[in-house]
Structure 1
Amino acid sequence: MTQLPDRPVLHPREVSFQEATAAWARIAAQSFGGPAGQIAVMHRILVEEKRWISEERFLHALNYCMLLPGPEAQQLAIYIGWLLNGTKGGIVAGCLFVLPGFISILILSIIYALYQETTLVQAVFFGLKAAVLVIVLDAVLRIGKRALKHPLLVVLAGVAFVSIFFFNVPFPLVVLGAGLIGYFGSRVRPEVFQGNGGHGSSAHGEEVRDAVITAETATRVTPSWNRFFRITAIGLATWFGPLLLVGALFGFSSVFWLMAKFFSQMAVVTFGGAYAVLAYVAQEAVQVFGWLKPGEMLNGLGMAETTPGPLIQVVQYVGFMGAFRDPEGLTPLAAGILASVVVTWATYAPCFLWIFLGAPYIEQLRGNKALSGALTAITAAVVGVILNLSVWFALNTLFSRVGETHLGPLRLYTPDWSTLNIPSLVLAVIAGIALFRFKLGAIPTLALTTVLGAAFVLLTRSGG
């Protein structure tokens, strides 16, 4: 069987590489609001405005990306870029999608690391944390409304929350367990584990006619073992080659190698979106590695919420702060920048491998009911995981001291009520009213609480 090249079957109105690159740069600059907002931006520009890809093919690609670990919006960009301009198109689309967020988070991380003790920076982040608490709670409600379509899925979400919050079960095991339940449960109770048909974040409407990429003109690559091993070898070398070089240069016990290894492991279990994996990252970064202090993860989330690019880019801030505090012989600033690159590479390099390797099998994966059932169960469990994240953040933001009590395998958080931060609680209530009652949206809510929180801190300090 002759293997076809990794090139699309082109429509007469071919999209040039230069034209596509300009569009991806435009999409990257507008990619605020998490995966829902980012997918909506891609849909508006690529499907409705440019008419480069049909609604059918857009949703087809999105459903495939939903089955993969990692940030689905970035993977969707890689996949559509590949459809339009082959491998180089996918690489450019994926890199441009991340670049604005990387630069923004790096600048904000440097400012935070160098000036966090100053009153102005403390004032800004004080108000930011309160809004992030409410935004994470909003994510629980939004995803829960979409994912928990059956009482058994509500139970699964509850079990996931209890497993992590009270028994400290590792996040990867929760994901694996939920996937297995959905995989086998779809055969016994298919009505429970029916797929949700994608994120629900892209617009639905009439099929775009005369699109460049349709079901008929889409890329077709004949699967073969030769291609499988070739793409796998190139992808793994690209992923681990630079990380191994860093390990060889700085030592395989250095903070840089620990981050390379940890975030590479994270990249293969990040099902369910950024909020789900951030619960895992936050607790490991604080409790196991000591890269962050308990309340600091909210600062990073605030940065990621207010800058373009995938929300998972907050891991760059985690890496920067961890290396800044343990520079391994470098200057703290140089160590933080290097760690930012290492963490970003470990997080996103696998995404290109998943897309370039799995694209030829998209039809088979899309129609597999067992895999759809696994995804449905994982998404339900993610609701419980994000609820755990929300409660954990709230405890460490609203209280200065939070202890732990262990009764066998049971773990209970015990906040010191005398350390309750009343101003933070008031700001969180204001953020909740703004977001849920007045529907201001994430960015305006963040701006409101940041201004109010900064004003409170500055007035308090000046009055003192």
Structure 2
Amino acid sequence: MTRVPVAIIAREWLRIGCVGFGGPPAHIALLRDLCVRRREWVDEREFEDSIAVTNLLPGPASTQLAILCAWRLGGVPGALVGGACFILPGLVLILALAALLLSTAAPAWVLGAAAGAGAAVPAVAAHAAATLVRGSLRQVGPVLSARVRWAAYLLVGGVAAAVTGPWLVLVLVAAGLVEVSVRAPLGRRSAVPLVLALPAVGGGLGAVAWVAAKVGALSYGGGFVIIPMMRQDAVHTYGWLSDERFLDAVALGQITPGPVVQTVAVVGYAAAGLGGGLLAALVAFAPSFAFVLVGGPRLDRLRANATAKAFLTGAGAAAIGAIGGSTLPLALSLHRPWQFVVLGAAAVWLLLLRRGVVSALVVSSVAGALITLG
């Protein structure tokens, strides 16, 4: 195994954190280019194994991949430094934008740009769900019974995102447990902790930490599944954000570099200022570091764990359904007639023309700013 100085890990992972626009596909491509092609620190097989392992873990997979690659190259110090450098650029930027957007004296063009980008968010959610459906269905295999179960989990997750509110996480975990039970030999049981599936209670920083913990520890199926998970707590349970401002927060998470999970920092900022934003980010990303630092060499064995694969099949399918199901309440959150025009244009751009998410959000935000100023 190649050992790399921590200073080099810090420099390279900071660069990726600064230019990593576009979500997990972009992050994976940047890490592959650095670690496999240019520096030849790891071989292609080892990198693919790392992708497979992090996809089996709950939480932001591309962040865990960045931490795991840094751990392979620099041990625990490398993992801590590399993960922090990957996360911090986007976190600093999203908190700065949150401070501007949520201030009492935000300029009209800023609010208009946010409204435009927020209008495109339901289309972004639909695009994310469609992309995940295409990728996951290939992994399910041709067996009819497996595909029927997968479709059922997908449907249940979609309905849950639209109507169940705080119980969405419980639905995701239940779907995973059902699939484990179906595949497990008779007489064997598997247990998965459910405590984080309960609705948040209380208020203040404790509530911020609780919401962030659910995001960081139980976000199966990609970063976008945090959107329906957070909306109930941030908008309805605590009222930290209005529906409109929540859409803006999601848009900020998409147009800034780094993982989409950083959206939780905007929620934390709305709840308790800068301290709340930093706390939310710390709690949300802590499980990703813990999985790598505690799991270490045992993570490679996770790929062959039938229970883990079964649980992810059920929970992941339900999560994809939840992403798709969230498009309806997100679209109903729009209030201005012109936003529905922007939403339609973004849907065509993403779903029919299959163009990029960042470009859709940027064009939508420019349109919103021009409409507001006009």
> Could you tell me the TM-score, scaled by structure 2's length?
0.88
| CA apart distance, 1:364 | 2.6
- Structure 1 portions without partners, runs of 5+: 1-9, 189-251, 324-335, 401-420, 460-464
Q: Give CA-to-partner distance per residue, 1:311-349, whole Å, 9 cap, x none.
A: 0101000111122xxxxxxxxxxxx11111111111112
Of 351, 359, 367, the match for 1:444 = 359
Name the structure 1 match of 2:281. 344
| CA apart distance, 1:115 | 5.0
1:125 aligns with 2:114: yes
Instruction: After superposing the two structures, state which structure 1 stretch, 291-300 or 110-119, moved more.
Output: 110-119
1:53 aligns with 2:2: no
Q: Quote the Cα distance in structure 1 between the aligned partners of 2:149 and 2:210.
A: 36
1:166 aligns with 2:163: yes
Secondary structure of the corresponding residue to residue 358 of structure 1 = helix
Of 127, 144, 165, the match for 1:138 = 127
Q: Quote the Cα distance in structure 2 between the aligned partners of 1:253 and 1:384.
A: 29
| CA apart distance, 1:142 | 0.5
AA matched with 1:392 = P
Of 132, 136, 142, the match for 1:147 = 136
Of 434, 437, 446, the match for 2:349 = 434
Q: Give CA-to-partner distance per residue, 1:129-183, whole Å, 9 cap, x none.
A: 1222211110011111122342331122112222342344612211211111221
Name the structure 1 match of 2:234. 285
Q: Is the 8 A contact 2:17 2:89 kept in 1?
A: yes
Of 263, 267, 278, the match for 1:314 = 263
Q: Quote the Cα distance in structure 1 between the aligned partners of 2:120 and 2:215.
A: 26
AA matched with 2:97 = L
Q: For residues 272 and 85 of structure 1, do their structure 2 counterparts lie closer, same or farther at Cα, with a shift above 3 Å needed?
A: same
AA matched with 1:63 = A
Q: For residues 184 and 139 of structure 1, do their structure 2 counterparts lie closer, same or farther at Cα, with a shift above 3 Å needed?
A: same
Secondary structure of the corresponding residue to residue 69 of structure 1 = coil
Q: For residues 264 and 436 of structure 1, do their structure 2 counterparts lie closer, same or farther at Cα, with a shift above 3 Å needed?
A: closer
Name the structure 2 match of 1:356. 293
| CA apart distance, 1:117 | 5.2
Q: Quote the Cα distance in structure 2 between the aligned partners of 1:163 and 1:254.
A: 24
Q: Quote the Cα distance in structure 1 between the aligned partners of 2:229 and 2:330.
A: 12
| CA apart distance, 1:36 | 2.1
Name the structure 2 match of 1:394. 331
Q: Quote the Cα distance in structure 2 between the aligned partners of 1:371 and 1:125.
A: 39
Q: For residues 34 and 339 of structure 1, do their structure 2 counterparts lie closer, same or farther at Cα, with a shift above 3 Å needed?
A: same
Query: What is the RMSD of the two structures over their aligned residues, measured on CA atoms?
Result: 2.0
Name the structure 2 match of 1:295. 244
Q: Is the 8 A contact 1:120 1:458 kept in 2?
A: yes
AA matched with 2:324 = L
| CA apart distance, 1:187 | 4.2
Of 71, 91, 115, the match for 1:82 = 71
Runs of 4+ that moved beyond 6 A: none
Name the structure 1 match of 2:176. 179
| CA apart distance, 1:422 | 2.4
What is the aligned-residue identity percentage?
27
Q: Is the 8 A contact 1:184 1:370 kept in 2?
A: no
Q: Is the 8 A contact 1:295 1:393 kept in 2?
A: no
Instruction: After superposing the two structures, state which structure 1 stretch, 96-105 or 58-67, moved more.
Output: 58-67
| CA apart distance, 1:354 | 1.2
1:377 aligns with 2:314: yes
Q: For residues 439 and 146 of structure 1, do their structure 2 counterparts lie closer, same or farther at Cα, with a shift above 3 Å needed?
A: closer
Name the structure 2 match of 1:453. 368
Q: Quote the Cα distance in structure 1 between the aligned partners of 2:35 and 2:19.
A: 13
AA matched with 2:167 = P
Q: Quote the Cα distance in structure 2 between the aligned partners of 1:136 and 1:301.
A: 10
Instruction: After superposing the two structures, state which structure 1 stretch, 374-383 or 433-442, moved more.
Output: 433-442
Q: For residues 107 and 167 of structure 1, do their structure 2 counterparts lie closer, same or farther at Cα, with a shift above 3 Å needed?
A: closer
The number of equivalent residue pairs is: 351
| CA apart distance, 1:451 | 1.8
Secondary structure of the corresponding residue to residue 309 of structure 1 = coil
> How do residues 230-241 of structure 1 correspond to structure 2 at under 5 angstroms?
none
- Structure 2 portions without partners, runs of 5+: 141-146, 186-200
| CA apart distance, 1:292 | 0.8
> How do residues 10-89 of structure 1 correspond to structure 2 at under 5 angstroms?
10-11=1-2, 14-89=3-78
AA matched with 2:371 = F
Q: Quote the Cα distance in structure 2 between the aligned partners of 1:266 and 1:454.
A: 31
Q: Quote the Cα distance in structure 1 between the aligned partners of 2:37 and 2:302.
A: 27
Instruction: After superposing the two structures, state which structure 1 stretch, 94-103 or 65-74, moved more.
Output: 65-74
Q: Give CA-to-partner distance per residue, 1:388-421, whole Å, 9 cap, x none.
A: 2211111111xx4xxxxxxxxxxxxxxxxxxxx3
Secondary structure of the corresponding residue to residue 271 of structure 1 = coil
Name the structure 2 match of 1:332. none
Q: Quote the Cα distance in structure 1 between the aligned partners of 2:31 and 2:292.
A: 17
Q: Quote the Cα distance in structure 2 between the aligned partners of 1:19 and 1:341.
A: 26
Of 339, 342, 351, the match for 1:424 = 339
Q: Is the 8 A contact 1:163 1:169 kept in 2?
A: no
Name the structure 1 match of 2:190. none
Q: Is the 8 A contact 1:116 1:122 kept in 2?
A: no
Which of the pair is proportionally richer in helix? 2
Q: Is the 8 A contact 2:175 2:314 kept in 1?
A: yes
